[in-house]
């Protein structure tokens, strides 16, 4: 059985066109013959294929009889099933589905993606049963009231995203739960404006990913990422989408169900300009984005602080960062270097440092938790949160500046802070790692990239699975990172000599500060807690664009996005809901 599935997947990797790739992903669910089944996802896939309607009806009834669970993660599959039914389901199955929306009350959630899934599904199911009265719904509101509430929230989200950026931005995992609702609305919303808005948002979201991928890997700073993908950059939902849209990299062994539900709805194929932006790495470039923090319920005057992203990409590697700080809860990833490998499966092609923040204040900023029991509750699902050797999470005690492929991160950790150390991830897939007497560490990353890092304080090595962790237990600390293409130097020694020749001055006490002339000639002066100065000019956060760089252009509050590639240009104007 497993062999059959593997054959399906193996053949899918060879699929040449978008449609072929899409078909292979749907078939992985529709024609699954392994042990057990994929539940709602398999029903949706088979209904989309118009196959085995009796099995679909029976399975749906069984699942609903067992009791819905999962809140908005239950809403999205059953909404798709309702729209994919098209006369295939039995009356009993349809009745069971209808009853579930009266007897089960999904939690609306506490993140942006939760709300988007919740309101998208509520919108579409209200549209599906347009005349249902308050007695027919779990929340005691009529279809008309539910649809209006959902419409307002969805439109508000689109406006906020196209003016101030997403709050849960650039997540290699959760990107799926933004794409999926937009795909649903693009496919099934009857209101032409809602449908058009969703189609445009699909382009917008894909554009958000396209310049920040390297071989399909979602690079740079992320609002949220899971640890398996943090280290093995291929191992997540973004690999499915990168492969589906652009044929980049490799999909997951079994495609994530987010991509399945994306496909059974609109199956939106990105326009040619986005394919070019996503795949052309012939010239290095720096891409800028402005995003938002997650909702900050406490401790801040502004619930949405700015996030300033910088991502440098070239065919050999990418360096990406935000400005540092606890911008998100628990799963933030603020910076890294990701390098090209021919096949990223099983490879930990990434390099970064973190301060392992575990803080009640962080949790109370982003959640309404009471002070006791919160961390215990968090580690039920995010198991490393309260661990000193963790590699995931942002910290208020980390500040970052990046210029092209040079990155400096400083740490100023108050005394008494839980886990007063920093961790550096040194992958098993680095080679020729050399600790130079100068304090620099040089290493080869893949065949095409050299990385130099200069920890500002002493450190020791600790194992981290097959890889290792640099552990430095100092409150004032920092790291200077310079990356270059191997092709720029005869060998790693030459790279090291060039790095050592670069002027570097630093202090760690009383406040960490660095002055460094980068390999690209930029003088970077950076003091913890102060605006970084590049070539004697303070970094201009004030005018940071929503999107900036060679491919994407959007001003803050613009409600528009212009994509450019060579002589191609495409503008999404959300004020007029037009594409030019």
The contacts of residue 500 (CB under 8 Å, 6+ apart) are 436, 438, 440
Q: Does 119 bind another protein (CB under 8 A)?
A: yes
To the nearest 10 degrees (0 to 180), the angle between helices 237-246 and 18-30 is 140
The residue range among 103-111, 347-355, 410-418, 569-577 that interacts with another protein, by the rule CB under 8 A, is 103-111
Decide if 475 contacts 415 (C-beta within 8 A): yes
Q: Among 54, 190, 298, 569, which residue interacts with another protein (rule: CB under 8 A)?
A: 298
**What is the pairing mode between strands 335-339 and 317-321?**
antiparallel
Query: By CB under 8 A, is residue 105 in contact with another protein?
Result: yes
Q: Which residues pair with 481 in a beta bridge?
A: 407, 453
What token pair was written down for 258? 């987010």
Regarding 416 and contact with another protein (CB under 8 A), the answer is no
When the beta carbons of 299 and 541 are compared against another protein, the nearer one is 299
- Give the range of 177-185, 299-307, 349-357, 408-416 binding another protein by CB under 8 A: 299-307
Task: Pick one of 149, 269, 389, 436: the residue that binds another protein (CB under 8 A).
Answer: 149
Which of 140, 346, 458, 465 binds another protein (CB under 8 A)? It is 140
Nearby residues of 195 by Cβ (< 8 Å), 6 or more positions away? 185, 186, 189
The answer for residues whose C-beta is within 8 angstroms of residue 329's C-beta and 6 or more apart is: 294, 362, 363, 365, 366, 367
Q: Which stretch binds another protein (CB under 8 A): 139-147, 274-282, 465-473, 559-567?
A: 139-147
- Residue 253 neighbours by CB under 8 Å, 6+ apart: 9
* Angular region, 245: left φ>0, alpha ψ -120 to 50, beta rest: alpha
Interaction between residue 141 and another protein (CB under 8 A)? yes
When asked if residue 461 is in the footprint of another protein (CB under 8 A), the reply is no
Where does this chain touch another protein (CB under 8 A) — which range of 290-298, 317-325, 344-352, 452-460?
A: 290-298
The residues in 70-89 that bind another protein, with binding defined as CB under 8 A, are: 70
By CB under 8 A, tell whether 115 contacts another protein. yes
Least spacing, CB of residue 307 vs another protein, in Å:
20
Taking CB under 8 A as the rule, which mask of x and - marks residues 11-40 in contact with another protein?
------------------------------
**69 interacts with another protein by CB under 8 A:** yes
The least CB distance from residue 116 to another protein, in Å, is 11
Q: Does 153 contact another protein by CB under 8 A?
A: yes
Chain centroid to Cα 450, Å, comes to: 26
DSSP-based three-state secondary structure for 352: strand
> 140 vs 106, 119, 143, 149, 257, CA distance in Å?
13, 16, 10, 13, 31
| Binding residues for another protein restricted to 358-387, rule: CB under 8 A | 368, 370-373, 377, 380-381
Q: Give the angle subtended at the CA of 41 by the CAs of 259 and 218, to the nearest 5°.
A: 20
Q: Which is nearer to another protein, 383 or 462 (CB)?
A: 383
Decide: is 99 part of the binding site for another protein (CB under 8 A): no
At closest approach, how far in Å is the CB of 241 from another protein?
Answer: 23
Contact 246, 275 (CB under 8 A): yes
What is the spatial distance between Cα 99 and Cα 137, in angstroms, rounded to a whole number? Answer: 9
- Told to check if 299 binds another protein by CB under 8 A, we report yes
Query: What is the C-alpha to C-alpha distance for residues 382 and 549, in angstroms, rounded to an integer?
Result: 35
Among 27, 110, 389, 436, binds another protein (CB under 8 A): 110
CA–CA gap between residue 361 and residue 557 (Å, rounded): 31
The C-alpha atoms of residue 322 and residue 402 are separated, in whole angstroms, by: 8
Applying CB under 8 A, among 282, 301, 510, 543 the residue interacting with another protein is: 301
Q: Is 227 in the site for another protein (CB under 8 A)?
A: no
Near another protein by CB under 8 A: residue from 18, 285, 288, 297: 297
- # residues near another protein by CB under 8 A: 34
Q: How far is the CB of 68 from another protein (least distance, A)?
A: 9
Binding site for another protein (CB under 8 A): 67, 69-70, 104-105, 107-108, 110, 115, 119, 134, 138-141, 149-150, 152-153, 156, 295, 297-299, 301, 303, 368, 370-373, 377, 380-381
């Amino acid at each position: 059985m497993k062999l059959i599935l593997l054959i399906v997947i193996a053949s899918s990797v060879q699929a040449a066109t978008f449609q072929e790739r899409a078909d292979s992903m749907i078939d992985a669910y529709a024609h699954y013959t392994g042990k057990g089944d994929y539940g709602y996802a398999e029903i949706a896939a088979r209904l989309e294929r118009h196959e085995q309607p009796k099995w679909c009806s029976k399975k749906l009834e069984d699942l609903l009889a067992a009791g819905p669970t999962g809140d908005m993660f239950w809403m999205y599959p059953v909404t798709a099933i309702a729209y994919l039914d098209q006369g295939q389901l039995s009356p009993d199955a349809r009745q069971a589905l209808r009853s579930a929306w009266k007897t089960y009350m999904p939690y609306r959630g506490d993140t942006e993606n939760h709300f988007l899934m919740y309101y998208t599904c509520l919108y579409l199911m209200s549209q599906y049963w347009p005349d249902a009265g308050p007695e027919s719904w779990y929340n005691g509101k009529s279809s008309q009231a539910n649809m209006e509430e959902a419409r307002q929230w969805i439109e508000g989200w689109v406006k906020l995203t196209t003016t101030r950026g997403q709050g849960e931005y650039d997540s290699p995992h959760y990107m799926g739960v933004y794409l999926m609702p937009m795909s649903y609305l693009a496919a099934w919303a009857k209101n032409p404006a809602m449908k058009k808005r969703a189609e445009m948002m699909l382009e917008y979201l894909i554009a958000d990913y396209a310049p920040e991928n390297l071989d399909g890997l979602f690079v740079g700073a992320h609002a949220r990422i899971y640890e398996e993908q943090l280290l093995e950059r291929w191992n997540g939902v973004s690999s499915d989408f990168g492969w589906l849209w652009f044929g980049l990299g490799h999909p997951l062994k079994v495609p994530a169900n987010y991509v399945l539900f994306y496909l059974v709805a609109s199956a939106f194929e990105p326009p040619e300009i986005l394919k070019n932006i996503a795949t052309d790495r012939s010239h290095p470039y720096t891409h800028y984005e402005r995003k938002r923090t997650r909702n900050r319920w406490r401790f801040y005057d502004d619930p949405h602080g700015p996030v300033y992203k910088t991502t440098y990409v070239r065919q050999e590697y990418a360096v990406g960062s935000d400005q540092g700080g606890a911008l998100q809860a628990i799963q933030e990833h603020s910076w890294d270097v990701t390098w090209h490998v021919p096949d990223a499966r099983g490879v930990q092609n990434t390099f970064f440092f973190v301060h392992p923040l575990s803080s009640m204040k962080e949790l109370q900023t982003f959640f309404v938790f009471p002070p006791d029991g919160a961390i215990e509750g968090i580690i039920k699902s995010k198991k490393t949160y309260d661990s000193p050797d963790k590699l995931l999470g942002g910290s208020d005690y980390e500040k970052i500046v990046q210029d092209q492929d040079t990155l400096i991160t400083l740490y100023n950790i108050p005394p008494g802070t839980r886990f007063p150390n920093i961790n550096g991830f040194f992958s098993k897939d680095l080679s020729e790692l050399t600790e130079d007497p100068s304090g620099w560490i040089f290493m080869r990353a893949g065949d095409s990239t050299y990385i130099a890092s200069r920890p500002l304080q002493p450190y020791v090595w600790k194992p981290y699975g097959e890889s290792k962790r640099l552990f430095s237990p100092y409150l004032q600390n920092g790291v200077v990172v310079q990356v270059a293409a191997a092709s720029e130097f005869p060998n790693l020694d030459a790279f090291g000599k060039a790095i050592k020749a670069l002027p570097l001055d630093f202090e760690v006490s009383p406040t960490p500060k660095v002055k460094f002339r980068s390999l690209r000639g930029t003088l970077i002066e950076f003091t913890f807690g102060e605006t970084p100065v590049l070539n004697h000019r303070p970094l201009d956060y004030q005018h940071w664009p929503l999107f900036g760089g060679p491919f994407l252009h959007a001003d803050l509050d613009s409600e528009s996005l212009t994509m450019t590639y060579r002589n191609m240009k495409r503008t999404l104007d959300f004020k007029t809901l037009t594409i030019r």
